[in-house]
Amino acid sequence: MRGRVCLFLLFSGMALVITTDGWGQPTPPGPALLIESLRVQSPLQFCGETVPLDNQGVLERFEKEMLIALWDQPQVILWIKRSTRYFPIIEEMLAERHLPDDLKYITLIESALRPHIGSPKGALGFWQFTKGTGRKYGLRIDDALDERRCIVASTRAAIACLTELHEHFRSWTLAAAAFNMGKQGLQTEILAQKTDDYYHLYLPLETQRYVLRIVAAKLIATHPETYGFHLKETDLYPPHRYDRVTVNCPDGLPITIVAEAAETTFKIIKDLNPAVRGYYLNEGSHTLFIPVGTALGFQSRYATLLHQWTIKKDEYIYVVKKGDNLSLIAERFGVPLTTLFLWNDLTRGEPIHPGDRLIIYPASEAADENDNPAATR
């Protein structure tokens, strides 16, 4: 049986013990830490608007959100570590539009600053836009690109959405509530209940929690040491450092070509450009991030690799014949069916027809192609 390790923390003059199991996973904070965390001394605000903790109902709801957040210690640690990577980008964009800095904390409770996280309702990305709402505010969302995963593009859309909501409701608290439940839904409740005070509105339970979850996240992330989270500067995730390049694709192009031109890996290109879906870039011009310092000479390397790939592509074309299907073709050439999909940017169930042209690499080169990491679509 694995032993337990005790870690001693100093909190408000009290020696607290947080135990970890043999795998190094922290156990939930002890009662003393949790109780002390609820004794908030100063008034709380969201975007300059006071949270009425003198209202017993609001106080109870806020305390619940604090306890739930602090119970999930690994999540809080990741909030803090990721914030140094992404918050500077959000802060700069909010400041440019003279919007409250507190709006950045919405991303903690929406996505925990994870670009690929999705919801059962189809929301996705840093700010959890649905496809319809994302497109309404200018995001490109299709099979090739999903800008909900891009911190810059999605934050720009969130700023536009929240600004519009604030102009309508004249309150950032209500704007945040509407961001969660929808403008029309909130307006309906305001008219039906004859109050525009968020804290006095009876709303869907998720929306009743929403602003208080943001405030709890803000309080913990702003003063982590107060709540027992003592992270060193070296513990924090550094911002992505990158160069920006423009890639002109005459036809569908494997992302591996860009990775080679940038002297890096497929995975790094995907990590720096989470909005890009699949393994190929569509025909046209693309602005991409590549590792810092690799822009010098990139276009020359890219032109050479593109030329080589174009020749290779012509050599490895297979023309679909009558009676062919993808399974038979994959078996004939001794490659996995999924690899055939990848090489040709096909989706499962997509039909092929006589005369269609497929890329099929020889077995000696197929192994090299398959070494590239898979991407999450």
145-197 residue pLDDT tens? 999 999 999 999 999 999 999 999 999 999 999 999 999 999 999 999 999 99
Q: Residue 253, class by beta-carbon neighbours within 10 Å (0-12 exposed, 13-18 middle, 19+ buried)?
A: buried
d(CA 20, CA 5): 5
Task: Pull the structure tokens for residue 175.
Answer: 């704007």
The reported pLDDT for the residue numbered 37 is 77
Structure tokens at 213: 């979850």
Span 210-239, average pLDDT: 94
- Domains detected in the chain: 38-235 (1.10.530.10), 242-370 (3.10.350.10)
> How confident is the model over 252-280, as pLDDT tens digits?
788 999 999 999 999 999 999 999 998 88
Give 295-339 pLDDT, tens digit per residue.
999 999 999 999 988 887 777 788 888 888 888 888 888 888 888
- Give the chain's largest Cα–Cα span: 80
Dist. CA 374–CA 360, nearest whole Å: 18
SS3 annotation, the chain: CCCCEEEEEEECCEEEEEEECCCCCECCCCHHHHHHHCCCCCCCEECCEECCCCCHHHHHHHHHHHHHHHHCHHHHHHHHHHHHHHHHHHHHHHHHCCCCHHHHHHHHHHHCCCCCCECCCCCECCCCECHHHHHHCCCCECCCEEHHHCHHHHHHHHHHHHHHHHHHHCCHHHHHHHHHHCHHHHHHHHHHHCCCCHHHCCCCHHHHHHHHHHHHHHHHHHCHHHHCCCCCHHHCCCCCCEEEEEEEECCCEEHHHHHHHCCCCHHHHHHHCCCECCCEECCEEEEEEEECCCCCCHHHHHHHHHHHHHHHHHHCEEECCCCCCHHHHHHHHCCCHHHHHHHHCCCCCCCCCCCCEEECCCHHHHHHHHCCCCCCC
CA–CA distance, 314 with 309 (Å, rounded to integer):
9
How many whole angstroms from its chain centre is CA 90? 13
Is the confidence at residue 251, as pLDDT, over 50?
A: yes
Q: What does the pLDDT read at residue 25? A: 58
**pLDDT range class, residue 343, cuts 50, 70, 90:** confident
**What is the reported pLDDT for 3?**
43
CB 147 within 8 A of CB 139: yes
Place of tokens 């992302």: 255
Strand partners, 253: 281
**What confidence tier does 365 reach under pLDDT thresholds 50, 70, 90?**
low
Decide: 203 and 181 in contact? Cβ < 8 Å: yes
Q: Which residues, 6 or more positions from 91, have their beta carbon under 8 angstroms from its beta carbon?
A: 101, 104
Report the distance separating Cα 344 and Cα 219, nearest Å.
Answer: 49
Other residues' Cβ atoms within 10 Å of the Cβ of residue 48:
9
pLDDT at position 109: 97
Predicted confidence at residue 371, as pLDDT, reads 43
Cα(65)–Cα(32) distance, integer angstroms: 17
Q: What is the mean pLDDT of residues 339-363?
A: 80
What's the pTM value of the predicted model, to 2 decimals? 0.80
Over its C-alpha atoms, the chain yields an Rg (Å, rounded) of 25
Residue 21 reports pLDDT greater than 60 = no
